[in-house]
Amino acid sequence: VRAAMAGWARAVRGLLLDVSGVLYDSGADGGVPIAGSAEAVRRIKASGLKLRFCTNETQATRENFVKKLRGMGFDISVSEVTAPAPAACHILRERGLRPHLLVHDDLVPEFAEVDKTNPNCVVLGDAAENFTYANLNEAFRVLIGMEKPVLISLGRGRYYKETDGLKLDVGAYMKALEYACDVQAEVVGKPSKRFFESALAEMGIPPEQAIMIGDDIVNDVGGAQRCGMRALQVRTGKYRPSDENHPDVKPDAYVNNLAEAVDIILQQL
């Protein structure tokens, strides 16, 4: 039965893994690994498949994020992580932009090399407790004071799952600023095509030889499919049964968790 089902698993050379909701569920205590996921990562590496961790995580620097995951037993290094903050820094330098940051305190070091004097844009990340009225209003004032406002958002997720329940994500605040300032945000991170393409370039493989595995039907699955990749949705993290009736996005397959996906993919190698 499995072999018949798993046409989607054929001719794969690389996997892109979402992190939060696929490897672990975040939480105030650092979070908890999802059963079988650390072993699944080890099996992917042993198989010789290429691997990138594609995350929209913007509550920590990549170094601290990786340190936390290694502490949970994951074989992961900074060089294997594609994340929005470094991609945003690249864009800022490229375009001579000086950001007003509305991000999590723990992410600020990622922008250490960037000129932040006299801001001419706003960079928005998952600021969590920093999403106060005062801070949002300050970002609003920077934008509304510009002739051509530039809003760069490190993702556009609506919510994510922590151990104590669902949490509002950066996309909700991005929409508030878009609405107030009549501006269209530029999204760095999933589901932006450029973000997925840079992960593929780092692996050195074309999209049709890659599979994205994520818990977010729109940003992980839809974003990857628009780039020509296959994409699976795991039934962990923020997955909800209603995702299976999504009007626009149909994953190539649903899997109960990362471990099950890896089982099926490795059987096809």
Q: What is the predicted pLDDT for the residue at 1?
A: 43
Question: Is the predicted pLDDT of residue 241 greater than 60, yes or no?
Answer: yes
Half-sphere exposure of 96 (CA within 13 A, CB side): 0
Question: Is the predicted pLDDT of residue 244 greater than 70, yes or no?
Answer: yes
pLDDT band with cut points at 50, 70 and 90 for residue 28: confident
Q: Residue 232's beta-bridge partner residues?
A: 213, 253
CB atoms within 10 A of CB 53: 26
Average pLDDT, the chain: 96
pTM of the model: 0.95
Q: Confirm or reject CATH 3.40.50.1000 for domain 85-187, answering yes or no.
A: yes
Instruction: Give pLDDT tens digits for 154-205.
Output: 999 999 999 999 999 999 999 999 999 999 999 999 999 999 999 999 999 9
Q: What is the DSSP letter of 184?
A: P
Question: Is the predicted pLDDT of residue 153 greater than 80, yes or no?
Answer: yes
What is the percent of the chain with per-residue pLDDT over 70, rounded to a whole number? 98
Between CA 70 and CA 43 the distance in angstroms is 16
pLDDT band with cut points at 50, 70 and 90 for residue 6: confident
Q: What is the mean pLDDT of the segment spanning 216-229? A: 98
Half-sphere exposure of 42 (CA within 13 A, CB side): 7
Tokens coding 171:
């996309």
Residues of the chain with CATH 3.40.50.1000: 85-187, 191-261
Sheet with 50-54: list strands edge to edge: 81-82, 50-54, 14-17, 210-214, 230-234, 253-255
Q: What is the mean pLDDT of the segment spanning 103-123? A: 98
Question: Is the predicted pLDDT of residue 121 greater than 50, yes or no?
Answer: yes
Q: What is the predicted pLDDT for the residue at 5?
A: 58
With 0-12 / 13-18 / 19 or more C-beta atoms within 10 angstroms meaning exposed / middle / buried, residue 113 is exposed
Tokens coding 99:
């950001």
Instruction: Give pLDDT tens digits for 36-84.
Output: 999 999 999 999 999 999 999 999 999 999 999 999 999 999 999 999 9
CB atoms within 10 A of CB 8: 17
Measure CA 53 to chain center: 9
Fold (topology level) of 191-261: Rossmann fold (3.40.50)
CB 78 within 8 A of CB 62: yes
